C-alpha cells in the first residue's frame, strides 16, 4: 500500500517521493491518520476501507473549491485513490500552532469572505459527500427551505427511523422546517458544512485553517450555528465575522433548527444521549 501511495505522490507532484518513515497521528473519528516523512517533505495521509474512496474524492474536491475562493486556508489535497483493500487521501502537512485573539478574529473574517463567495444560483453541490461517515445528499435545489427540509432534516429522520429512533411525525417535522425557512431567502454561499472546533486550527505562522469539510452551497448561517454547538468558538471569531458579513437578527431563532441536523446525525452515528437532545430540539422547532 505504502509503495503505491508514494508512487502516486511522486506522480501528482512531479517530484520523486520515497517514504523514509511514517508515524501514526490522529485521523479523526472514522479514518486512520499517518504522517509520511520523506527526505525533505512530509505529507498527511488518511486511510479507510476501499469502499470509502468516494468520500475522499468529495473531500478533495471540497477542499479545492474552498481554496479557489482565495479567502481562507485549507489543506492542499495532493492525491487520492485506492489500493486493493484501502482508500486514501494525501494532503499537505501543516504544522499547527497556538491560537490567539488575532488568529480567531482573522478566522472569522476569512470565513465571512468565503461565505460571500457565491458561485452558484442553487443550493446543493456538484456531488453527494459525507457528514462524518453519514451520506450527505446535495441534489441541486431551487429553494433553501426545500433543500434543508428534504435533504438535511428529512434525510436524517429517515436514517434514524431505520435505527429504531422515534422522533414523532415525520411529515409534521419536515413541513414545519419547510415553513420556518420559507420566510427567508438566503443567497447560496459556499459553506464548510461541519465547522466545529476540531475542524479549525491555526498554523505556526498564525494563519487560520479549516479542514475536513462537508462542503455544499447553503445558508451561511449553518456554519455559524455549528461553531456554537459544542461550546462555541472564542468571541473574537464572531466579532471578526460580523464586522465583515453581519448576521441577521433572525439567526438566533434558526440556530437550533440548523444544529438539529448535526444532532440527528450524531444520533445516527453514535446513539446514546443524542436521541433525547434531538427530541428536545425538535419540540423547540415545532413550538417556534
Positions annotated as catalytic residues are 194
Report yes or no: 50 and 18 within 8 Å, Cβ to Cβ.
no
CA 137 to chain CA centroid, nearest Å: 13
Rg (CA), the chain: 19
d(CA 238, CA 256): 18
* Contact (Cβ atoms closer than 8 angstroms) between residue 278 and residue 260: yes
Q: What are residue 156's phi and psi, to 5 degrees?
A: -65, -35
Grid cell in block for residue 262: 448535526
3-state SS assignment for residue 273: coil
Backbone angles phi, psi at 135, to 5 degrees: -60, 140
Amino acid at each position: 500500500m505504502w509503495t503505491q501511495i508514494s508512487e502516486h505522490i511522486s506522480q501528482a507532484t512531479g517530484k520523486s517521493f520515497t517514504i523514509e518513515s511514517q508515524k501514526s497521528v490522529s485521523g479523526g473519528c472514522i479514518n486512520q491518520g499517518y504522517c509520511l516523512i520523506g527526505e525533505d517533505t512530509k505529507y498527511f495521509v488518511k486511510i479507510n476501507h476501499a469502499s470509502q474512496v468516494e468520500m475522499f474524492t468529495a473531500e478533495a474536491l471540497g477542499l479545492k473549491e474552498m481554496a479557489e475562493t482565495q479567502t481562507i486556508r485549507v489543506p492542499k489535497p495532493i492525491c487520492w485513490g485506492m489500493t486493493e483493500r484501502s482508500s486514501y487521501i494525501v494532503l499537505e502537512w501543516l504544522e499547527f500552532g497556538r491560537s490567539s485573539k488575532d488568529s480567531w478574529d482573522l478566522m472569522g473574517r476569512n470565513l465571512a469572505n468565503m461565505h460571500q463567495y457565491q458561485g452558484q444560483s442553487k443550493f446543493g453541490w456538484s456531488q453527494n459527500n459525507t457528514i462524518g461517515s453519514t451520506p450527505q445528499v446535495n441534489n441541486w435545489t431551487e429553494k433553501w427551505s426545500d433543500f434543508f427540509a428534504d435533504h438535511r432534516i428529512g434525510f436524517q429522520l429517515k436514517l434514524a427511523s431505520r435505527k429504531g429512533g422515534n422522533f414523532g411525525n415525520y411529515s409534521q417535522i419536515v413541513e414545519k422546517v419547510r415553513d420556518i425557512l420559507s420566510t427567508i431567502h438566503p443567497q447560496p454561499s459556499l459553506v464548510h458544512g461541519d465547522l466545529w472546533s476540531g475542524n479549525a486550527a491555526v498554523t505556526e505562522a498564525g494563519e487560520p485553517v479549516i479542514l475536513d469539510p462537508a462542503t455544499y452551497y447553503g445558508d451561511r448561517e449553518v456554519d455559524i450555528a455549528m461553531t456554537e454547538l459544542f461550546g462555541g468558538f472564542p468571541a473574537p471569531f464572531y466579532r471578526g465575522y460580523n464586522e465583515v458579513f453581519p448576521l441577521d437578527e433572525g439567526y438566533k431563532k434558526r440556530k437550533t433548527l440548523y444544529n438539529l441536523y448535526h444532532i440527528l446525525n450524531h444520533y445516527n452515528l453514535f446513539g446514546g444521549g443524542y436521541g433525547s437532545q434531538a427530541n428536545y430540539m425538535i419540540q423547540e422547532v415545532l413550538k417556534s
